[in-house]
Amino acid sequence: MNLGPMLPLMTHCPMCKALYAAESVKLICEKANVKLYHSTCHSCSHGLFYYVLQSEGGVSAVGLITDAVGSDALRLAEALPVSSDECISAHRIVSDQSQDLCQNLLDIREKLA
Q: How far apart are CA 56 and CA 71, in angstroms?
A: 32
Residue 88, pLDDT > 90, answer: yes
Q: How far apart are CA 59 and CA 53, in angstroms?
A: 6
Q: How far apart are CA 109 and CA 28, in angstroms?
A: 34
Q: How far apart are CA 112 and CA 80, in angstroms?
A: 34
What tens digit of pLDDT does each residue of 14-60 get?
A: 888 888 887 888 888 888 888 888 888 888 888 888 888 888 888 88
**Greatest CA separation for the chain:** 52
Task: Look at residue 68 in the predicted model and tell me its pLDDT.
Answer: 82
Q: 2 pLDDT band (50/70/90 cuts)? A: very low
Give the whole-number percent of the chain exceeding pLDDT 90.
11
Q: 1 pLDDT band (50/70/90 cuts)? A: very low
